[in-house]
A and B are shown apart, each in its own frame.
Chain A
């Protein structure tokens, strides 16, 4: 909402510089986005002048050499190209040194040999109107030399306000003036609708027009007045200037009046050429499905059955509350005007405006729900202007189809100062509170505030202020939160803060992966349905976004790896040789969330579960040498065992045991991939990337994993550790080498050993693998370190030998022998 300061000042002038006023408005809830200017940057150098003589330029047909009295300095010569300049006119003059709206500084100049000491201005040059064809002739008795700014808002300061959706009353200059009055205490001028025009026309409006409202729920009130003897023409300069500064293009006096009154009162209006409304009959009805009409902007609109149209006998002449049509538009030939001021159902206007993708000054106001009462205010202001500016005669009577429902009738509220203070933690004197509410337009009952202050809510705050708490807000903001609100801390009543166990463990895991050398990525939750074309990823049904911004972001991700691969591709394409990234975040699966577990599994607080499952996962992609390229050489590009090692680091930090079973995914190397299991249940995968995937991201080698975090956290023992005495009876360590078929998995051998070792075998870890000349073809030797230990005694050699013999026997059972 653009508010020219001089227009505002006509109703309330707090005597503050614009910057100060803007700050006060911002600090009381009316945000000022910008303090701008309309017209010239400064009024300096602009004066009223009188043309004493205008003669033909000796060397140019189109130029006149004018003698102008512009006050001090006496007469001056100004060369002017306007055809309408003539002796005797009072005009706007820019003197050398003045800065025009486009920023140029006016200088003395020779035009075809004649020196011109200034410029006679057109409306366009002053940026107050649209007439560029000739100079503006002023209707003023101001003496030559008078500052032009005293006559016209030549350099207007304009407040650009952001009005919150609950305050449609502030979408009018008078509403802002009341706000300024409330927050500064400066005097507020009388309501512009205080006086009505005298009805000097003949007959009665009912003779000329009729209104039928078929949809009273969607049109709480429809008023219409008729005007005869209307003379269409340009608006006076002052009105054009106000419209222009407020961002509205002047058109003609009738249309300008409807715009002006809307900008002043916040209530939109619409003018019909009454002679183009057959029989003067207006019908307000629901559109039929698919009905079309062409709006003023020359676009054909397709309506649905919930849209409301304003019609004449021949069909729709406007979309209610949004935009008029061309059929009964006011034109230069118009002599009789029917002025519509209606109240519409805001929700319906918003709906229709969204359906059509059409927003207007009117719809942005109506959609916030205006009060029916406002219609007659606008009728009164507009009627006076129609009479004053168009020479029109107001036909007696007003057509008023008033379907105002009971909930829109006026009501009272009580304000209890004690309650207010307890909520705010700030005391506001009850007398001050009553004063603030009065300034805001609330009718305060009684004089001395008792325990409660009773007020009647004004029509323009009807939908915004409905409860005592709303009055508390009004009082608080006018009182000044910035100045008066104390800064205290709440009593906590025994509440204890802290991270939950799963949050601590998740941070532990993320920190661990970071400390292992990975960078954390955050990738989009929504992805393309083909999941970047990586094989296999698109096979999982996703949750689909109904109205995505683009096809690329139209389904919710079902994995983290897709985003990480895209991140790898992004970095590899920019010259990175090593990309090691991880993400800790959610995937979205089209299934009901789990009934137990915690937030990391998708079970959240609240009486009802969310619509789908959102388990938290951790995933990593490793491209290039994990340790970076080092001058002493390094381990080569990350492979399966590097990725698996990272998972084992996580498992170690959480104090849990994971197992790995060969098993691939379409995007992994079929022979170098595994399913990760916790307590026998699959929780994710690890593997080297498939060559087709590598080719897509332009990498030569790489590995990755993705794990559900909830199962990790559920199985974690970190924090539950119990001390175990391992020093009184130290372990006996022994190394063995086991030769078996290369196809026998290391884990199978280790498990066989652990099982056979029983309670006395504390640990068995593979520490070397050998394949080569020293073992038969097709066989492999695994070296393991075994720790034998009993909690209550130091084991004797004989005891260890016995257990060992059992292990050897068990290994024999799976075709494995001890080597050497």
Chain B
């Protein structure tokens, strides 16, 4: 009997080795390990053997069975793997076809990106961001910013005015004293703000010093050509405390210019004139294209027109007369001082991204918008 088991083992080993695929291996399993297999029959009939044979036959039989099971298992696994590989090989695709993303990429407008970038720089410097109205009282846009009556900026050819009859029923409009008019508003009382500077006044009315705010927003002037659109965007800045100096304005704008235009930038400050700041300055940043030299080996820098400098904003120390309009909100002109600045977002976006014509920002041509990731 033991010889017979040995023989079965040898036969089965040969059969497993000879099985060429998963089906053949399964056949071998059935033949040698199945319910009707000889070895199975032997092991099942062990009880009928003479007692002295039961031990050796059972031990050897089970040993062989385990050995054969392992052999078959291994062979089966090998062939299954091979066959899976073969199937997968037939499922290959063209990996160079385009993918199908769940959405196509959208784009923020370059002006929004630039505005947010400016906001974030000043948030980092400790400023809050505020918004203000675009349809404004003359009082906030001009009077409280130290524009004398009859100032040219108030003329019809520069400033958009709003028809007082189109303000809705019973509108609240301020007079030149900053108090609500008791009479119906006149044709020059309400306007489209010409700058974000009215928010200097509103900001100070809202918060005692120290105040550090930036105010982005749309503004309007009656101009239209390649470098002027009747609607554009500014960011106003205001920093007022007890000891904020013109030198602090210089440092702040230097920090800003480096954050937005690159760490090697420089700024220069030129005296200028605005009604609501004194001293007033204009600020240039060194040209980032030519490195401030104004020229390249093959000629003049076209961005800065050879000057090495790009004008980016107007600024100055808040005029004491302006504080006079918010005195009762904690701004005693003899005790507080600080600076204000205003910059055009379009100008900065044009410089940064090489946009040649201001009007392109408002064409909303997707071929342009999609260039700004």
Q: Which residues of A have CB within 8 Å of B211?
A: 495
Which residue of the partner chain, among A547, A614, A632, contacts B222 with CB atoms under 8 Å?
A: A547
Instruction: Take A469-B319, A549-B222, A606-B201 as given contacts and tell me if A350 and B135 are in contact as well, using a CB distance cutoff of 8 Å.
Output: no
B361 interfacial contact with A, CB 8 Å: yes
User: How far is A354 from B155 in the complex, measured between Cα atoms in Å?
Assistant: 8
B205 touches A (CB below 8 Å)? yes
A570 to B364, CA, bound (A): 8
Near A by CB (< 8 A), chain B positions 327-373 give: 329, 337-338, 361-367, 369-370
- Report whether A549 and B224 are in contact in the complex, using a CB–CB cutoff of 8 Å: yes
B363 CB contacts on chain A under 8 angstroms:
570
- Residues in A whose Cβ lies below 8 Å from that of B137: 608, 610-611
Interface residue tally on B, bucketed by range? 35 or more
* CB-based nearest B residue for A511: B108
* A496 part of interface (Cβ distance < 8 Å): yes
A543 touches B104 (CB 8 A): no
Interface status of B251 (Cβ within 8 A of chain A): yes
- Give CA–CA (A330, B207) in the complex, Å: 63
Q: Among the listed B109, B162, B239, B251, which residue makes an inter-chain contact with A520, where contact means beta carbons less than 8 Å apart?
A: B109
Closest partner residue, chain A, to B361 (CB atom): A522
Q: In whole angstroms, what is the CA distance A182 to B317 when docked?
A: 23
With the chains together, A484 CA to B241 CA distance in Å?
A: 23
Q: How far is the CA of A426 from the CA of B245 in the complex (A)?
A: 9
Which residue of A31, A498, A607, A630 has the most chain B CB atoms within 10 A of its CB atom?
A: A607
Among A520, A574, A576, A611, residue most surrounded by chain B Cβ atoms (within 10 Å):
A611
Judge whether B246 and A425 touch: CB under 8 Å: yes
Q: Is A29 an interface residue (CB 8 A)?
A: yes
Q: CA separation between A426 and B269, bound complex, in Å?
A: 14
A167 partner residues in chain B, CB cutoff 8 A: 273
Cα A535 to Cα B363 in complex, Å, equals 23
Residues of A within 8 A of B187 (CB): 546
Q: Does B58 contact A (CB under 8 A)?
A: no
Q: How far is the CB of B122 from chain A (nearest CB, A)?
A: 7
Bound CA–CA A547/B122 (angstroms): 36
Q: Residues 188-210 of chain B: 1 if any A CB is under 8 Å from the residue's CB, otherwise 0?
A: 00101000000101110111001
Contact B171 A611 (CB under 8 A): yes
Question: Does B100 belong to the interface (CB within 8 Å)?
Answer: yes
In the complex, A423 Cα to B112 Cα: how many Å?
35
The residues of A that contact B250 with a CB separation of less than 8 Å are 425, 481, 485-488
Question: Interface residue tally of chain A, by bracket?
Answer: 35 or more
Query: Contact: B135 with A627, CB < 8 Å?
Result: no
The answer to whether B95 has its CB under 8 Å from any CB of chain A is: no
Chain B CB within 10 Å, residue with most, of A350, A489, A523: A489
Most buried by A among B187, B269, B366: B366
Is A768 an interface residue, CB under 8 A from the partner? no
Q: Are B112 and A546 in contact (CB under 8 A)?
A: no
Tell me if A519 counts as interface (CB < 8 A to partner B): yes
Q: Which residues of A contact B270 (CB under 8 A)?
A: 26-29, 31, 481-482
Considering the chains assembled together, what is the distance between the CA atoms of A223 and B338 in angstroms? 45
Task: List CB contacts (< 8 Å) of B125-143 with chain A.
Answer: 125-137, 140
Q: A606 touching B140 by the CB < 8 A rule?
A: yes
State whether the Cβ of B291 lies closer than 8 Å to any Cβ in chain A.
no
A360: Cβ under 8 A from any B Cβ: no
Interface pair B269/A367, CB less than 8 Å apart: no
Identify which of residues 50-99 in chain B touch chain A, using a CB-to-CB cut-off of 8 Å.
Answer: 97-98
Q: How far is the CA of A545 from the CA of B192 in the complex (A)?
A: 8
Query: With a CB–CB cut-off of 8 A, which chain A residues contact B124?
Result: 497
**B167–A496 contact, CB under 8 A?**
no
**Chain B residues with CB under 8 A of A489:** 125, 248, 251-252, 255
Task: A489-B255, A497-B125 given; name 16 further pairs at CB < 8 Å.
Answer: A423-B337, A424-B246, A481-B270, A481-B281, A491-B241, A541-B166, A543-B135, A546-B156, A574-B365, A585-B218, A586-B134, A591-B168, A605-B202, A608-B178, A610-B133, A611-B171
8 smallest beta-carbon distances between A and B, as pairs: A425-B247, A425-B245, A606-B202, A29-B271, A610-B133, A590-B168, A605-B206, A347-B150
13 sampled A-B residue pairs with Cβ under 8 A: A350-B155, A423-B246, A423-B317, A473-B279, A510-B112, A513-B106, A516-B103, A519-B107, A522-B112, A544-B162, A567-B364, A610-B132, A614-B135
Interface residues of A (CB under 8 A from B): 26-29, 31, 164-167, 347, 350-351, 354, 367, 422-426, 467, 469-470, 472-473, 476-477, 481-482, 485-500, 503, 507, 510-511, 513-526, 541-549, 553, 555-556, 567, 570-571, 574, 576, 579-581, 584-586, 588-593, 599-600, 602, 604-612, 614, 626-628, 630-632
